[in-house]
Amino acid sequence: TPKKSIKEGKAEICLTTEKVFYNPVQEFNRDLSIAVLSVFTDDYKTEKLAKAELKKKSKNIGQEEFISEDCNNSEIEITILEALSATGLRSIRYAKEVPNITKIVANDFSIQAVETIKANVVHNQVEKLIETNHDDACMLMYKHKHPTKRFSAIDLDPYGCPSIFLDAAVQSVSDGGLLLVTATDMAVLAGNSPETCYCKYGAVSLKTKCCHEMALRILLQCIEQHANRYSRYIVPLLSISADFYIRVFVKIYSGAIHCKKTTSKLSMVYHCVGCDHITLQPLGGFKPNPSEKNPDQMKAYLPAAPTVGEYCVHCNQRHHLGGPIWSAPIHDEAFVSRVLMHVQGHPELFGTAKRIEGVLSMVREELHSVPLYYTLDKMFGRVHLETMPMMVMRSAIMNAGYKVSYSHASKMSIKTTAPAQLIWDIVRTW
Contact window for ligand SAM (CB under 6 A) among 21-29, 185-193, 303-311, 381-389: 21-29
Question: Is residue 37 a contact point for ligand SAM (CB under 6 A)?
Answer: no
Contact by Cβ (8 Å): 374, 413:
yes
Q: Could you say which residues in the range 75-94 bind ligand SAM, by CB under 6 A?
A: 84-87, 89-90
Question: Is residue 30 a contact point for ligand SAM (CB under 6 A)?
Answer: yes
Contact window for ligand SAM (CB under 6 A) among 22-30, 167-175, 271-279, 340-348: 22-30
Which DSSP string do the residues of 18-80 spell out, in sequence order? Answer: TTS---GGGHHHHHHHHHHHHHHHHHHHHHHHHHHHHHHHHHT--HHHHHHHH-BTTB---EE
Question: Is residue 244 a contact point for ligand SAM (CB under 6 A)?
Answer: no
Using alpha carbons only, give the angle 252, 86, 131 rounded to the nearest 5 degrees.
70
Kind of pairing between the strands at 11-15 and 4-8:
antiparallel
CA dist., res. 215 & res. 189, Å (int):
5
Out of 8, 13, 15, 21, point to the residue binding ligand SAM (CB under 6 A): 21
The residue count for binding ligand SAM (CB under 6 A) is 20
Dihedral angle computed from the Cα positions of residues 395, 400, 405 and 407, in that order, rounded to the nearest 10 degrees: -100
**For residue 265, what is the enclosing H or E element?**
none
Question: Is residue 351 a contact point for ligand SAM (CB under 6 A)?
Answer: no
Kind of pairing between the strands at 404-407 and 410-416:
antiparallel
Question: Is residue 249 a contact point for ligand SAM (CB under 6 A)?
Answer: no
Amino acid, res. 421:
Q
Least distance to ligand SAM, CB of residue 84, Å? 3
Using alpha carbons only, give the angle 128, 131, 132 rounded to the nearest 5 degrees.
140
Nearer to ligand SAM, 106 or 343 (CB): 106
CA dist., res. 81 & res. 179, Å (int):
10
Contact window for ligand SAM (CB under 6 A) among 2-10, 152-160, 310-318, 353-361: 152-160
Question: Is residue 142 a contact point for ligand SAM (CB under 6 A)?
Answer: no
Out of 109, 230, 311, 402, point to the residue binding ligand SAM (CB under 6 A): 109
String marking each residue 117-136 x if it binds ligand SAM according to CB under 6 A: -------------------x
Out of 104, 119, 137, 168, point to the residue binding ligand SAM (CB under 6 A): 137
Least distance to ligand SAM, CB of residue 275, Å? 39
Nearer to ligand SAM, 247 or 319 (CB): 247
Q: How many CB atoms lie within 10 A of CB 50?
A: 10
Sign of the alpha-carbon dihedral angle for 322, 324, 328, 329: negative
Contact window for ligand SAM (CB under 6 A) among 19-27, 39-47, 211-219, 358-366: 19-27
**Collapsing DSSP states into helix, strand and coil, what is residue 270?**
strand
Which DSSP string do the residues of 152-164 spell out, in sequence order? Answer: EEEEE--SS--HH
Contact window for ligand SAM (CB under 6 A) among 108-116, 144-152, 225-233, 340-348: 108-116
Q: Which residues bind ligand SAM (CB under 6 A)?
A: 21-22, 26, 30, 84-87, 89-90, 107-110, 113, 136-137, 157-159
